[in-house]
Amino acid sequence: MDTQQLIPQKINTGDWVGSAWNGSPRLTPYAQAIADHYPIQVPLFLTTQVVLSNDPLDLSIPRVILTRPQLYDTLIVGMTAYQAPTIQQAGQAYLNITHQDTGIPWTAPNSIGFSPLPAYAGMVTVGGFGSPQMFIMRLPESFFLPAHTQLKLEYLPIKLDVTPSVTIILVMQGIQLINHRPGFTTPEKVQMPNGEVIPVGSRIPWFATIPYGARPDVAGSRGFLDYALNALEQTVSYGPPSDCVIEVHDTYASFNDSTFENFATFNLLRTKLDFTRKKRDWSPQYIPEQAVFGSIVNIDPCMPFPMPQILSGDDKITMRAMNNDTDLENPVLDGTVTFRGVRQCEY
Amino acid sequence: MYYFNNYVYEILKYYRTHIVLEDTISIGFTGVATQRVAPVFSNENSEDALYVAASVDFTAAQAIEARVRIKSVSPQYEWMANDDDIPIDTPVGALAGIIGTAMPVVSLVVPFFVQKQGRLQMQFTNSTTTPITGGLWNWRCIRLTNPINGGWNYSIGFNG
């Protein structure tokens, strides 16, 4: 029997504080439990910059940035990104972040393996659609970055017009955790609100980016830019498999097509979204894509589900998409949906 | 709705009275692109204070290009801690709200405790394409008065 369905309070909904920065940043219970071990806490702004050019290598090989090791243990809580030229002018870069020491990527390694920058970070846009937006976005879960370790940032400009170049500045907002007491060691386990004791490092941000449509089966079509969902066609996509329990919080949709990006017509693109845990878990009808997926036009681009969804074992996300546009010349090009949440694993 | 983490409540416990405090600082830009002006400091307070949130009177475009590097001077904690060969300062808009926009004040990820003899040092660099003349930065703070047992201090963090 699925006890999680019968006793919803068993789900750690208290872990979820949403992506909005709001008037006062709020720590997740996991982050608060870690921070409680440190009597001195100092704001951290960790800024990195990358310039993506029209060098062919920049278009096919990820550009890698390594953060420098920090003196103190750190909680990375939220992110802000700046892009010049803007997203409206040049499109969106894709990003993956990996903790260098454990090797665990934040974006699940599926057919894309990268997520749009606005799924990671609040974007400052000036004079464009959706402006002003929430320019600091909270991660689905704070990331505990131990002292003297690094994060690897991999950028892939697969949806970016890099003529002549695009500059991206990424600011990670976090807390430096300081404890100089003799004999102090970094906590290995913390207690969650439901009483469960979990290892520090066992909750990390999780991103899964699923493309709309499929690549055509022709020579040379291995690039991301070949994904398409033609008018009056349907497709089925699945979330990546995982060996861990996943807590799915919210979604962000990205399109390289102004017809769909601007959401001018509400019913143009429809989806059927199922968290398939058992055969009975299915949706009865297609729903407007904008009703369930956030986008860059929203103040908070990541649209939350009514409650976090727990996926474990053989569970999977099933996403059916239908391009309802009657204009056959109007396919969905290079569309992706990013599911954001928390990966619960012990390493 | 305001939310403070346990660290802040731990500090507040050491004071009987908590009063709102505003601290406005003139940056002193002279309209020169990428100008790195002399560091400016938060104003002296007669009491300990928690620095909670910030705002700036730049335009959104200026707040993207202008940079800032902040540290406390007593004791010294770097907020923009990195040891890159060429350290990258933080865009002002990632830290402070922009007056006249939907978010005129932005909270710090964690409030920062400044003792009455301490100050914050802010090193600003002007915008590259739309340089600022003047510039005002406002800190929203909580003044901590009527201390209990001398109030909170960083040695409590070391030994408490």
User: What band does A18 get if pLDDT is binned at 50, 70 and 90?
Assistant: low
pLDDT value of position B83? 59
User: What band does B23 get if pLDDT is binned at 50, 70 and 90?
Assistant: very high
pLDDT value of position B131? 96
Closest CA to A301 of A130, A168, A149: A130
pLDDT value of position A266? 59
Structure tokens at B66: 């202008």
User: How large a percentage of chain A has pLDDT more than 70?
Assistant: 80
Express each pLDDT in A66-77 by its tens digit. Answer: 998 889 999 999
Domain membership of residue B22 (yes or no) is: yes
Q: Three-state SS for B140?
A: strand
In the predicted model, what is the mean pLDDT of residues A222-242?
79
Determine the Cα–Cα distance for residues B88 and B82; give it in Å rounded to an integer.
Answer: 8
Where would I find the H helices in chain A? 3-6, 29-35, 56-60, 87-90, 117-120, 258-261
pLDDT value of position A56? 65
CA distance, residue B54 to nearest chain A CA (Å): 12
Indicate if the pLDDT at residue B76 is higher than 70.
Answer: yes
Residue length, chain B?
Answer: 160
Question: The domain that contains B23 carries what CATH number?
Answer: 2.60.120
pLDDT value of position A7? 42
Structure tokens at B51: 């620095």
Q: Which domains does chain A show, CATH number per domain? A: 3-198 (no CATH), 205-344 (2.60.120)
Structure tokens at B111: 């409030």
Domain membership of residue B32 (yes or no) is: yes
| Chain mean position to CA B92 | 11
Among chain A residues, CA nearest to B76: A42
In the predicted model, what is the mean pLDDT of residues A25-35?
90
Q: For chain A, positions 57-86, list CB contacts with chain B under 8 A.
A: 67-68, 70-72, 77-78, 80, 82, 84
The shares of helix, strand and coil residues in chain B, as percent rounded to the nearest 5, are 15, 45, 45
pLDDT value of position B159? 54
Q: For chain A, positions 87-116, list CB contacts with chain B under 8 A.
A: none
Determine the Cα–Cα distance for residues A332 and A320; give it in Å rounded to an integer.
Answer: 14
Domain membership of residue B139 (yes or no) is: yes
Say yes or no for a CB contact (<8 Å) between A22 and B80.
Answer: no
Say yes or no for a CB contact (<8 Å) between B88 and A135.
Answer: no
Domain membership of residue B158 (yes or no) is: no
Domain membership of residue B155 (yes or no) is: no
CA distance, residue A164 to nearest chain B CA (Å): 18
- Residue A271, chain B, CB below 8 Å: the answer is no
Residue pairs spanning A and B at CB distance below 8 A: 128
Most confident range (mean pLDDT) of A260-264, B85-89, B98-102 is B98-102
pLDDT value of position A227? 77
Number of domains in chain B: 1
Indicate if the pLDDT at residue A13 is higher than 60.
Answer: no
Residue A242: phi and psi, rounded to 5, are -145, 145
Least confident of A297-301, A302-306, B38-42, B139-143: A297-301
Indicate if the pLDDT at residue A304 is higher than 50.
Answer: yes
E-only strand ranges, A54-196 = 63-66, 73-84, 91-99, 115-116, 122-123, 137-145, 151-160, 165-178, 189-191
In the predicted model, what is the mean pLDDT of residues A184-189?
94
For residue B83, give its domain range. 6-148
- Residues 6 or more apart whose Cβ sits within 8 Å of residue B127: B33, B34, B58, B61, B62, B65, B66
Say yes or no for a CB contact (<8 Å) between B103 and A39.
Answer: no
Indicate if the pLDDT at residue A184 is higher than 60.
Answer: yes
User: What band does B117 get if pLDDT is binned at 50, 70 and 90?
Assistant: confident
Q: Residue A83: its chain B contacts at CB < 8 A?
A: none
Residues of B at the A interface, defined by Cβ within 8 angstroms: 1-7, 10, 60-61, 63-64, 70, 72, 77, 79-84, 88-91, 93-95, 101-103, 106-110, 112, 154, 156-160
In the predicted model, what is the mean pLDDT of residues B69-96?
85
User: What band does A200 get if pLDDT is binned at 50, 70 and 90?
Assistant: very high
Q: Residue B79: its chain A contacts at CB < 8 A?
A: 42-45
Domain membership of residue B157 (yes or no) is: no
Q: Which of A45, A78, A174 sits opposite B90 (nearest CB)?
A: A45
Indicate if the pLDDT at residue A255 is higher than 70.
Answer: yes
Domain membership of residue B73 (yes or no) is: yes
Higher-confidence residue of A61 and B59: namely B59
Among chain A residues, CA nearest to B105: A23
Say yes or no for a CB contact (<8 Å) between B84 and A136.
Answer: no
Indicate if the pLDDT at residue A8 is higher than 80.
Answer: no
Q: Which of A39, A126, A175 sits opposite B109 (nearest CB)?
A: A175
Give ipTM to 2 decimals: 0.92
CA distance, residue B64 to nearest chain A CA (Å): 7
Indicate if the pLDDT at residue A20 is higher than 70.
Answer: no
What are the residues facing B51 on neighbouring strands?
Answer: B112, B141
Higher-confidence residue of B159 and A147: namely A147
Residue A191 near residue A197, CB atoms below 8 Å: yes
In the predicted model, what is the mean pLDDT of residues A35-43?
94
Q: What is the mean pLDDT of chain A?
A: 81
pLDDT value of position A222? 52
Q: Which of A22, A28, A41, A82 to mutate to test the interface with B (most CBs of B within 10 A)?
A: A41
Q: Three-state SS for A270?
A: strand
pLDDT value of position A5? 45
Q: Residue A70: its chain B contacts at CB < 8 A?
A: 81-82
Say yes or no for a CB contact (<8 Å) between B91 and A171.
Answer: yes
Closest CA to A82 of A122, A52, A140: A122
Residue A130 near residue A105, CB atoms below 8 Å: no
Domain membership of residue B13 (yes or no) is: yes
Among chain B residues, CA nearest to A174: B109
In the predicted model, what is the mean pLDDT of residues A306-321?
84
Indicate if the pLDDT at residue B26 is higher than 90.
Answer: yes
pLDDT value of position A283? 75
Say yes or no for a CB contact (<8 Å) between B2 and A80.
Answer: no
Q: Which of A24, A82, A174 sits opposite B91 (nearest CB)?
A: A82
User: What band does A124 get if pLDDT is binned at 50, 70 and 90?
Assistant: confident
Indicate if the pLDDT at residue B72 is higher than 80.
Answer: yes
